[in-house]
Amino acid sequence: MRRSDPVVVEGLTKVYRGRSGEVVALNDVSFSVRGGEVFGVLGPNGAGKTTLSLIIAGLLEPTRGTAYVMGEDVRKLKRKVCEKYVALYLSGYMRLVQSFLRVPALKYLIMVGSIHWARGDLRRRAEEALKMVGLWEWRDEWPSRFSAGMKARLKLAELLLYDMPILVLDEPTVHMDPASCMEVWRVLKKVAREEGRTILLTTQNMEEAEYLCDRILFLNRGRVVAIATPHELRELVVKRERIVVALRRGDGGRLVEKLRDLPAVFHAEAREGGRLIVIEAAKDGVAPAELIDLAAKLGCEVRYLSYEKPSLSDVFRALVAGGAA
């Protein structure tokens, strides 16, 4: 881990003290993001993604450990992180921000740009930014009349106005339809490749992570489960298979327990009242005969068996359910 990387996170822990006691939102998280890299943080609800984004942007204090942004400690910089280095996008707040605005979109961009002292020819930059996010034809419309996806894209356009070397985007495409997502992904890729900016984005969308990110960090319940490139993920997929077992009779729950003891099994669960069992296993790790024998020993009769190549989403589910793959 090099302090010279734009974002370096070291032993970061965040404990919230809420009404129902303490919540460890981040637990000893360490990683670093290289210059010009698109780095994805993937995780289910409550994984700690927003908490991580807020800490890196200097808006929330860590409990232990810290993050360095362009070599500076966020505990010291605090809110200045966002003035000096980071353009932050929080999907949850977008609708609030722009819902009351009654100025045309292009004028709005020029307005906010001038508040935040964006350098250069502001009008040209605002026009370019609107075109980049696919809102050019809406430039004369009020943002208050935009859909959630359009507001999100307008906010992204706003972030592009500033010369910040780092973009921290918390679930940027969460309200967007597939076509808008693709448009935004292209913009972000371009921003990283051509302008050399560093992007850290959080998402629950596996497809987004795979398309956009150079590396992906899996976060679950505040812990790092894996850091991998999309290529390594593909390898993971190739090395795995999904086995679906339908039972005619027997106790599927007991079979699942025994399956979990097999070294080749990463994850096993019973569905539909124990009649259907879904197994994530190493490729060729569990032979059909072995499965049928094991089931028979537990008094289960197998109706059918199928072996499938899992999708990346299955890998994600397996990672969050069972730890490292």
Ligand X SMILES: Nc1ncnc2c1ncn2[C@@H]1O[C@H](COP(=O)(O)OP(=O)(O)OP(=O)(O)O)[C@@H](O)[C@H]1O
User: Which partner in Mg ion, ligand X, none is near 51 (CB below 5 to 8 A by kind)?
Assistant: ligand X
User: Which partner in ligand X, Mg ion, none is near 48 (CB below 5 to 8 A by kind)?
Assistant: ligand X
Q: Give backbone dihedrals phi and psi of 265, rounded to 5 degrees, phi first.
A: -95, 120
Pull the structure tokens for residue 27: 């637990």
What is the rounded distance in angstroms from the CA atom of residue 145 to the CA atom of residue 167? Answer: 26
- Residue whose CB is less far from ligand X, 200 or 300: 200
Neighbours of 255 (CB within 10 A): 25
Sequence-separated (6 or more) residues with CB below 8 Å from residue 300 = 247, 249, 250, 251, 252, 254, 255
Q: Do the beta carbons of residue 163 and residue 118 sit within 8 Å?
A: yes
Closest CA to 109 of 147, 158, 144, 159: 158
Whether the CA torsion 215, 165, 75, 78 is positive or negative: it is negative
Q: Which 3 state secondary structure label does DSSP give 298?
A: coil
- Residue whose CB is less far from ligand X, 165 or 172: 172
Alpha helices in 196-272 (DSSP H): 206-212, 230-238, 252-261
User: To the nearest whole angstrom, how small is the minimum distance from the Cβ of residue 56 to ligand X?
Assistant: 12
- Residue whose CB is less far from ligand X, 15 or 276: 15
User: To the nearest whole angstrom, how small is the minimum distance from the Cβ of residue 42 to ligand X?
Assistant: 10
User: To the nearest whole angstrom, how small is the minimum distance from the Cβ of residue 110 to Mg ion?
Assistant: 30
Query: Would you tell me which residues interact with ligand X (CB under 6 A)?
Result: 16, 18, 23, 25, 43, 45-51, 204
Residues numbered 35 to 54 that lie near Mg ion (CB under 5 A) are: 49-50
What is the rounded distance in angstroms from the CA atom of residue 165 to the CA atom of residue 160? Answer: 10
User: Which partner in ligand X, Mg ion, none is near 46 (CB below 5 to 8 A by kind)?
Assistant: ligand X
- The radius of gyration of the chain's CA atoms, rounded to the nearest angstrom, is 23
- Residue whose CB is less far from Mg ion, 32 or 50: 50
Q: Residue 27 interacts with Mg ion (CB under 5 A)? A: no
User: Which partner in ligand X, Mg ion, none is near 45 (CB below 5 to 8 A by kind)?
Assistant: ligand X
User: Which partner in Mg ion, ligand X, none is near 197 (CB below 5 to 8 A by kind)?
Assistant: none
- Residue whose CB is less far from ligand X, 135 or 212: 212
- Residue whose CB is less far from ligand X, 43 or 310: 43
User: To the nearest whole angstrom, how small is the minimum distance from the Cβ of residue 77 to ligand X?
Assistant: 21
User: To the nearest whole angstrom, how small is the minimum distance from the Cβ of residue 18 to ligand X?
Assistant: 4
Sequence-separated (6 or more) residues with CB below 8 Å from residue 236 = 228, 315, 325
Q: Which residues bind Mg ion (CB under 5 A)?
A: 49-50
